[in-house]
Structure 1
């Protein structure tokens, strides 16, 4: 199975073309995600656990498949690298609660490390075990990537961290 290049939405805000591909449900796999990332011109790597990851300057987005056959889940999970101090956690939780109320994805939550720093994780999931339409899979995955990028920019605005953006705007695939 392959993806028609004209079906890949761009990051420039132009209308998204209609995808063409198999009729009926497909069961997405890692090769399909690799094709999608290549057509989106995003750099990616495969980590030690076999998951695909697309690195940006301030975060990494993972594309993971979990579960057994008809219960398999495709997850797009973004780990934001910006460390926040534990005394900022209440403000951080209020900000991400606001994001979670306003948006469908990614749903963002916090993780407090042993050293007391707080980091954020965004996640969106899709049940794929029984198959999904290729169009739905492609448009959802692209939307989730866009939203992950947008969340980072939005968070910088909300927390007054504009210096981070001025020192190096995170564009897709900027990191080596």
Structure 2
């Protein structure tokens, strides 16, 4: 078989298709381009905070087994009695969406929180375009899940009880 410059398992190869091993500075530059605020936490991980959740961008492992993870922690606490309803909503999401995959975490105080994760093996290198498009897609999907779960569980804020913009404090 002639060499066509394509490996059926890996896609196009050869000049112009070099692989990179992503790192935290690369993610910071991407977040800057997306105009997203971020902090570096006490463990050295990047975190982008939103109003009701925060997303972490983490590298774990060594050499060829290094992974890049985007993990979102949704802040709304739920009671342990809500788990069946939560499972129904997140099962629906996990069936329909590629990422993030969502699961529950029960804290010692009995409160239940939702966590979303997406991972990519990066130790052997990845295409820059693939890395960027996957990371952006994971961020967008994390935001979409927040909207999805709020609607699925009927947690949407009651707009009628919210003050009109520009009229805050004018209740005379």
Q: What TM-score, normalized to structure 1? A: 0.80
Which structure 2 residues correspond to residues 77-116 of structure 1 after superposition, within 5 A?
A: 77-116=71-110
Name the residue aligned to 2:6. Answer: none
Give the C-alpha shift of residue 94 in structure 1.
Answer: 1.1
**8 Å CA contact 1:75, 1:125 repeated in 2:** yes
Distance apart, 1:23 and its partner CA: 4.0
2:129 corresponding residue in structure 1 = 135
CA displacement 1:35-72 (0-9 Å, x = unmatched): 00000000000000000000001000000000011100
Partner Cα distance (1:165, 1:55) in 2: 24
- Where does structure 2 lack aligned partners over 5 or more consecutive residues? 1-15, 163-172
Distance 1:71 1:87 in 2: 39
Quote the residue 1:18 is aligned against.
none
Given the alignment of the two structures, is residue 73 of structure 1 paired with residue 70 of structure 2, yes or no? Answer: no
Query: What count of residue pairs does the alignment treat as equivalent?
Result: 146
State the match for 2:18 in structure 1. 24
Verify: 1:162 aligned to 2:156, yes or no. Answer: yes
The TM-score normalised by the length of structure 2 is 0.82
Tell which deviates more after alignment, 85-94 or 118-127.
85-94
Partners of 2:29 and 2:59 in 1: CA distance: 16
The answer as to 2:121 corresponding to 1:124 is no
Whether the 8 Å CA contact 1:156–1:164 is kept in 2: the answer is no
Aligned residue among 48, 52, 58 for 1:54: 48
CA separation of 1:164/1:141 partners in 2, compared to 1, >3 Å: closer, same or farther? farther
Distance in 2 (alpha carbons) for counterparts of 1:130 and 1:95? 36
Measured in 2, the distance between the counterparts of 1:153 and 1:164 equals 14
**Matching of residue 41 in structure 1 with residue 35 in structure 2:** yes
